[in-house]
Amino acid sequence: MIYACDFKFTDGKRDVAIYMGELISVIVPIYRVEKYVEQCIQSICNQTYRNLEIILVDDGSDDECPQICDRYAQRDERIKVIHKENGGLDSARKVGILAATGKYIGYVDGDDWIEPEMYEKLLESIYKFDVEIVESGVLDSYVHGEKKRTPCLPEGCYKGREFTEKVEPKLLFVGNFFEYGIAPYLVSKLFLKDILVKYQMKEGMTNVLHDDTMVSLPAIAESKKLYISHECYYHYRARMDSLKRECRPDEIKNLIECYPDFYARFKGSTLCDEKDRQIQYYAMYWLVFKAPYAFDEQDSNTFLMQFGGLRVDAKIVLYGAGAVGIHMENYIRKVEGSIIVCWADRNYQDLQRTLDVRNPKEIISLEYDYVIISIMREGAVKSAKKDLIALGVPEEKILWIKQEYIDNPELLLSRVEYQGKKLL
């Protein structure tokens, strides 16, 4: 079995031959993904870079996943299987990193898969550019196709002053609501273990929320040695039943309790500066996305204050059925007196298998007071608004997050409290 790869590249002055025999530990949390896990494991086994330690963490899965993992371990000596009681994604990752012996760490979720050259290319970049972390793009994989997601920041190497001036001020928030400078996903990166492990092993907020963001981005902020690639090697399987779309009632409580740890994790970076508002923008994004109820007053006849405040009996068309739309629809239907006359999405044909989503062309024949755009990225919102106006929806009836909150997140965040304790 061949475990090492030779790479040759030019550093601008001379050809440099690098022998890369370093061990990469790939951690795979697995829970109730029996339909997908074989494709996931096989894609890791098929990597062109062979010196891998593949750690399959069965997080108490009650389907066929444990047996599938054990079968693969019998076929490939690089595979280790850990069976544990269910503790959630962060718990599985912690167990995996404790068992890891590689110099570098990669992650793959059990329902996704990766391109054969992923770890060869990422490790090549680590050596070529002398960095500790490499970021790459993601392929969102749907039933009828794929869509690329690449980092907002330009492709290239960022170290020292380049990092401080060009990455750090845009790490959590690039300037458009809402886009990260660096996507927080652990799965699209390769990390030097020594820079990652202390953030992965911290207790606290990663147990309840932000498990990717509060591990990957603080590690990047501390390292200040990053290469960004716009190549896409990781296939994210878009599933309606994924954890990303799970609606949780405790988001406000968790965020308020964990908010101080945001700043603690980024100690020594510009994000700890009171003039830097990246963490505020991130908190606002998270609550609008995951807890749209966070800004409402109890015993009020209005709700959804982030959109300017609507009467509870307003007739609403909800436009957008991605993860944001699922959370929004879930909340609005729980508000007494609220009326969703239609839930529409441009990709309604794919979504109708699992959601009651309709063709946007139907909107024009309905009676409604407002169309709420349940999308987070400003560019996609502008496109959606243009489509709605083209259908004949009056512009004054189309609502998104009010501009005053986009300009000043403190105005919205100051409304957030839980059991008498305020966020700000």
Task: Give all domains of the chain, ordered by start, each with its CATH number.
Answer: 5-239 (3.90.550.10), 248-424 (3.40.50.720)
Q: Which residue has the tokens 């007494």?
A: 336
Q: Which residue has the tokens 């273990």?
A: 193
Q: Which residue has the tokens 């690639």?
A: 229
Residue 366: HSE in the Cβ half-sphere, 13 Å Cα cutoff: 22
Secondary structure (H, E, C), the chain: CCCCEEEEEECCCCEEEEEECCCEEEEEEECCCCCCHHHHHHHHHCCCCCCEEEEEEEECCCCCHHHHHHHHHHHCCCEEEEEECCCCHHHHHHHHHHHCCCCEEEECCCCCEECCCHHHHHHHHHHHHCCCEEEEEEEEEECCEEEEECCCCCCEEEECHHHHHHCHHHCCCCCCCCCCCCCCCHHHEEEEHHHHHHHHCCCCHHHCCCCCHHHHHHHHHHHCEEEEEEEEEEEEECCCCCHHHCCCCCHHHHHHHHHHHHHHHCCCCHHHCCCCCHHHHHHHHHHHHHCCCCCCCCCCCEECHHHCCEECCCEEEEECCCHHHHHHHHHHCCCCCCEEEEEECCCHHHHCCCCCCECHHHHHHCCCCEEEECCCCHHHHHHHHHHHHHHCCCHHHEECCCHHHHHCHHHHHCCCEECCEECC
Full pLDDT tens readout for the chain, 424 residues: 334 455 555 554 434 344 468 999 999 999 999 999 999 999 999 999 999 999 999 999 999 999 999 999 999 999 999 999 999 999 999 999 999 999 999 999 999 999 999 999 999 999 999 999 999 999 998 777 788 999 999 999 999 999 999 999 999 999 999 999 999 999 999 999 999 999 999 876 655 667 899 899 999 999 999 999 999 999 999 865 555 555 677 889 988 988 888 899 998 898 888 789 999 999 999 999 999 999 998 888 999 999 999 999 999 999 999 889 999 999 999 999 999 999 999 989 888 888 899 999 999 999 999 999 999 999 999 999 999 999 999 999 999 999 999 999 999 999 999 999 999 9
Q: How does pLDDT run across 151-192, given as a tens digit for each residue?
A: 999 999 999 999 999 999 999 999 999 999 999 999 999 999
Residue 158: HSE in the Cβ half-sphere, 13 Å Cα cutoff: 28
The whole-model pTM stands at 0.91
